[in-house]
Structure 1
Amino acid sequence: MELTAKTTIKSLLKEHPYLLDFLIEYRPEYGKLANPVLRASLGAVATLEMVAEMGNVPLEQLMSDIRSEIERHATESPMELQAHQADQMRHEALGGMIRDLHAGVDPDVIKRRFAELIEHASPSDIAAMEQTLVAEGMPEEEIKAMCDLHVKIFQESLEMEQKPVVPGGHPVHTFHRENEALAEVAKRIEHELADIGEPPTADGLRRQSDCLKADLARLAEIEKHYLRKENELFPALEKHGVTAPPKVMWAIHDDVRALLKDVRKALEEGPAATVVKEGRVLVKTIIDMIYKEENVLFPLALETLSEGDWVRIREGEAAIGYALVEPRGAWKAFKGEVPPGERKEGHIALQTGLLTAEQIDLLFNTLPVDVSFVDENDVVRFYSEGTRIFPRSPGIIGRTVQNCHPKASVAVVQRILDAFRAGERDVAEFWIEMNERFIHIRYFALRDVEGAYKGVVELVQDATDVRRLAGERRLLDWDVESSPKGA
């Protein structure tokens, strides 16, 4: 092949697979190419020109060194070349197995083929294959529906993998302790469902009703576990090119949320058979997700993310909270680079005034609305820390707004962004009732003096008390307020 500045890593490694080891050792910045997920996602678009810039290497030097390595390798023994080709064929065969699985081939047949091909599969293998399937156009819903079988095929080899040990206080350590506590509650619910009887009876349901209500309330704490994954862990993985597994898992999170709601409703309305049936599906879905986290997601994340990534995840956890447990231990790591926006000194000249960064923070944090800003490239750049209606945490900063919403909402979000960008609309608003509160949600297009689209600001307000106002108040009358700090 002809080597040019526009040659992609994917095409280069397809033609010369042995160059993978060469590039990994060539510059520290290229070490992440060892991650098959990163290669699958970015390799198709990363050119040598981009790679040279990433490694701070002159393009001509990089291309010259690659050519020299190709020439050197041409003189090596055929055995080494065969080893690289065998490794490439192995990954292609693994991908073929998963495609056959989706096509309906018996999983037991796939497991036998797998055993003949490989004795060891890592979490990265599963992630890389799911990433490849997405890149090839397979719908995420289909991958979600089959991901249990993906794990089942690799189960034996996954369980042979040595689980990484992390210190107390590390985000993965906290996730693990939460999983232990959540699994205990789920197993208890499983026993309570069994005690309703076979077949389930109304009397059995009455006997177990209080226990089930209490344990379902405990299980609902899983929301914090999932929110930390969605708002902290997933954004960090996405920045390293790992996009498919988070999307598949988020869809399953939404399934758990819906199931939990349905089971609690069935517990109030019956019949007993529905409670048992839906309750067992809920328990199985949660236990299966815990297995995927412990054997696929967390090992993959520990392999992929840097210490700086984990520090930022740890710093954002408290804003969301924890499920049934609190972090145990005082894990500390080198923070690396300081995230943008932390500098507090100096003044910022605005159109109608001069404020310090601290004053701007205080202003936004005091407003009785939840403010978020998405720039013209659909990237989340800011949210206020004051009044909070919906969960937010630092992990969403720098993330595309489409990835911050469940799949069911993405189409509406995209429609608003497209209309704002095209200049067709400047405002969109919704109002909903949530937890007996009236929530008003508004979106405003931001445009510069020439009318060019510069992003969108979202304002979310709890308008419950505002809707109750009537008549007028023209005088200050704190004496009638229920709180000494009232307006």
Structure 2
Amino acid sequence: MSELINNRKAKKNETSERQALLKEIIKELHDGKNVDDVKAKFEEAIEEVSVSEISQMEQSLMEEEGIPVEEVQRLCSVHTEVFKGSIEEIHESEALGQEPGHPVHTFVLENKEIDPLVNFRLSLHKDQFVREANEETVQKLIDDLTSLLEIGKHYERKENLLLPYLEKYGIHGPTQVMWGVDDRIRAAMKKARLELMDGEWTHEDMVSQLEWVIKEVSDMIFKEENILLPMALQHLTEDEWIEIEAESDELGYCFIEAPQAWKPKRERVQTERTLDEGIVRMETGTVSIKQLELIMNHLPIDLTFIDDQDIFRYFSHGKDRIFHRSTAQLGRTVQNCHPPQSVHIVNQILEDFKSGKKDSEDFWIPLKDKYVLIRYFAVRDEEGTYLGTLEFTQNIAPIQEIEGEKRLMS
């Protein structure tokens, strides 16, 4: 028994020492040290590193060392290059997604289509553009980037369905970092495509942008299949994967047909919602809970509510929601429901509401064929105590088209 205890202590000490060294290496990268020097130090000191250790290291960098999430995002690609080939679970990537219809299987299928799109097609057309930038090579790049923007569906399912569950298991740092990198990839693709279409580019800068996109998309495939998905398989229950699969169709898929239905090894535990037919008595009337939910879902607007602790508690579920919401996000802080680079705006709105400085805030943006009005309202009780924030979202494009008057029924 004493030998077993001693072995556990030795293993724990070894893990702690490796964690400390991992943090030291990343901090050296943070301070601007040469990547090759750090990689050599890493390979000399550590033969293998686990997925969980990388996850813990990223989280502790933000929580204990105070390195901002944006900086960890910048370093993410660098340390992925350092760790690549040294992750002990790397061989497990071949075993990922063996069950057709399982969300992991679907993510891997998409990655198999994304990989040749960036590393063969886009890379080939980029090389042609390097040799001769003419109308034909520019158009090929525009077409490639237009196709590649479909990757947004892959990233959105990851961000809105998978990452919220990981956060429920206390895994916050890696999820924030990955979402931030996803956003940078999407923004870079859109920027390069727009510049090519408008003719507002320089040859050297465009080549640099394209090479960055190719590298970052490739690295994200690696990070998903060797870090994120194995970690998710380790933590999530079968019922949680079923919930993810059930909501995936609404966000859609990229470069593959809708996957076949997943047939788990056991029957799904019955988790469907049942609405209590009790009565809700309000100041201005009485309705059943069923009627109240149907009323909320029939409004030609989207409603989202977070409580006074910034926890996402409710969303209406109309048939044409403008911004996707999932039940996986319920119970999550609102800050973790937004991309890292926009969290400061969220926090400012909440700070103004809680302090009483403001009672509302409005935004309006064009979105494809819609013109979206987004309104935020501080919810207060009779004494003025802040109870939460209500988000009100509406497509006002049809309203803007109204002219004259209408007094008769259609």
Relative to the length of structure 1, the TM-score reads 0.75
Q: Take 2:4 and 2:155, find their aligned partners in 1: how far apart are those partners?
A: 50
For 2:174, give the aligned amino acid.
P
85-94 or 317-326: bigger deviation:
85-94
CA contact (8 A) 1:174 1:328 kept: no
Map residues 2-151 of structure 1 onto 2, 5 A cutoff: 81-136=9-64, 137-151=66-80
For residues 379-401 of structure 1, the C-alpha deviation after alignment (integer angstroms, 9 at most, x for no partner) is 11111221322232222211111
**Could you say which residue in structure 2 is the equivalent of 1:461?**
394
**Could you say which residue in structure 2 is the equivalent of 1:244?**
173
- Aligned-pair CA distance for 1:345: 4.0
Q: Take 2:151 and 2:38, find their aligned partners in 1: how far apart are those partners?
A: 34
- Aligned-pair CA distance for 1:456: 1.3
Map residues 254-293 of structure 1 onto 2, 5 A cutoff: 254-270=183-199, 271=201, 273=203, 274-293=205-224
**1:196–1:306 CA distance, 2 compared to 1 (3 A):** same
CA contact (8 A) 1:445 1:457 kept: yes
Selected match of 1:435 from 368, 372, 376: 368
Selected match of 1:306 from 226, 237, 255: 237
- Aligned-pair CA distance for 1:248: 1.0
CA contact (8 A) 1:171 1:310 kept: yes
CA contact (8 A) 1:320 1:393 kept: no
Selected match of 1:153 from 69, 79, 82: 82
Instruction: With a CA cutoff of 8 Å and minimum separation of 6, indicate the structure with the bigger relative contact order.
Output: 2
Percent identical pairs in the alignment equals: 37
**Could you say which residue in structure 2 is the equivalent of 1:162?**
92
**Could you say which residue in structure 2 is the equivalent of 1:12?**
none
**1:81–1:201 CA distance, 2 compared to 1 (3 A):** closer
- Aligned-pair CA distance for 1:335: 4.4
For residues 123-180 of structure 1, the C-alpha deviation after alignment (integer angstroms, 9 at most, x for no partner) is 1111111111111211222211111221222212227543343311111111111111
Map residues 177-188 of structure 1 onto 2, 5 A cutoff: 177-186=109-118, 187-188=120-121
For 2:351, give the aligned amino acid.
D
Selected match of 1:407 from 323, 327, 340: 340
CA contact (8 A) 2:180 2:341 kept: no
What SS does structure 2 have at the residue aligned with 1:475? coil
Does residue 1:450 correspond to 2:403, yes or no? no
For residues 434-478 of structure 1, the C-alpha deviation after alignment (integer angstroms, 9 at most, x for no partner) is 3253221111121223332211111111111212223332332x1
Does residue 1:324 correspond to 2:255, yes or no? yes
CA contact (8 A) 1:235 1:396 kept: yes
Kindly tell me the number of residue pairs found equivalent between the two proteins. 399
For residues 350-408 of structure 1, the C-alpha deviation after alignment (integer angstroms, 9 at most, x for no partner) is 30444344433322222111111111111111112213222322222111111112233
Q: Take 1:424 and 1:93, find their aligned partners in 2: how far apart are those partners?
A: 46
- Higher Rg of the two aligned structures: 1
For residues 257-288 of structure 1, the C-alpha deviation after alignment (integer angstroms, 9 at most, x for no partner) is 21111121122122572544422322222112
CA contact (8 A) 1:121 1:157 kept: yes
**1:98–1:405 CA distance, 2 compared to 1 (3 A):** same
What SS does structure 1 have at the residue aligned with 2:18? helix
Selected match of 2:310 from 378, 382, 404: 378
What SS does structure 1 have at the residue aligned with 2:92? coil
For 2:136, give the aligned amino acid.
R
CA contact (8 A) 1:416 1:428 kept: yes
Superposed CA RMSD in Å reads 2.5
98-107 or 258-267: bigger deviation:
98-107
**1:82–1:389 CA distance, 2 compared to 1 (3 A):** closer
**1:182–1:470 CA distance, 2 compared to 1 (3 A):** same
5+ unaligned residues in a row in structure 2: which ranges?
none
For 2:78, give the aligned amino acid.
L
What SS does structure 2 have at the residue aligned with 1:402? helix
**Could you say which residue in structure 2 is the equivalent of 1:7?**
none
Q: Take 2:192 and 2:9, find their aligned partners in 1: how far apart are those partners?
A: 57
- Aligned-pair CA distance for 1:221: 0.9
**1:131–1:337 CA distance, 2 compared to 1 (3 A):** farther
For residues 83-107 of structure 1, the C-alpha deviation after alignment (integer angstroms, 9 at most, x for no partner) is 5434433332333233233233443
Relative to the length of structure 2, the TM-score reads 0.88
CA contact (8 A) 1:201 1:272 kept: no
207-216 or 169-178: bigger deviation:
207-216
Selected match of 1:368 from 300, 323, 338: 300
5+ unaligned residues in a row in structure 1: which ranges?
1-71, 479-487
For 2:43, give the aligned amino acid.
A
What SS does structure 2 have at the residue aligned with 1:156? coil
Q: Take 2:211 and 2:36, find their aligned partners in 1: how far apart are those partners?
A: 25
**1:88–1:212 CA distance, 2 compared to 1 (3 A):** closer
